[in-house]
Amino acid sequence: MARRRRAEKREVEPDSRYGSKLVTLLVNFTMRQGKKSVAEKIIYGAFDKLAAEK
């Protein structure tokens, strides 16, 4: 039995570039070992390539 109360869910902050919470969740899911800047470069690079194709 736990001695502390249950941890509360944190609200996800919107992404700085697109202002979307979904992009933030995608970056956090892609992130490995706390390397958020690397994950952002990967995601933003993919979005830039998709935008260039249109």
In a domain, 39, yes or no: yes
Report pTM: 0.79
Residue 4, domain member (yes or no): no
Among 32, 25, 30, residue whose Cα is nearest residue 11: 25
Q: What is the pLDDT of residue 4?
A: 87
Residue 13 lies in a domain: no
Q: Which domain holds residue 32?
A: 21-53
Q: Is residue 40 part of a domain?
A: yes
In a domain, 16, yes or no: no
Q: Name the domain count of the chain.
A: 1
Q: What is the pLDDT of residues 9-50, one digit of tens each?
A: 999 999 999 999 999 999 999 999 999 999 999 999 999 999
Going by C-beta distance under 8 Å and a sequence separation of 6 or more, which residues neighbour residue 11? none
CB 14 within 8 A of CB 2: no
Q: Measured between alpha carbons, how far is 44 from 5 in angstroms, rounded to an integer?
A: 38
Report angle CA 52, 24, 16 to the nearest 5 degrees: 70
Is 7 a member of any domain?
A: no
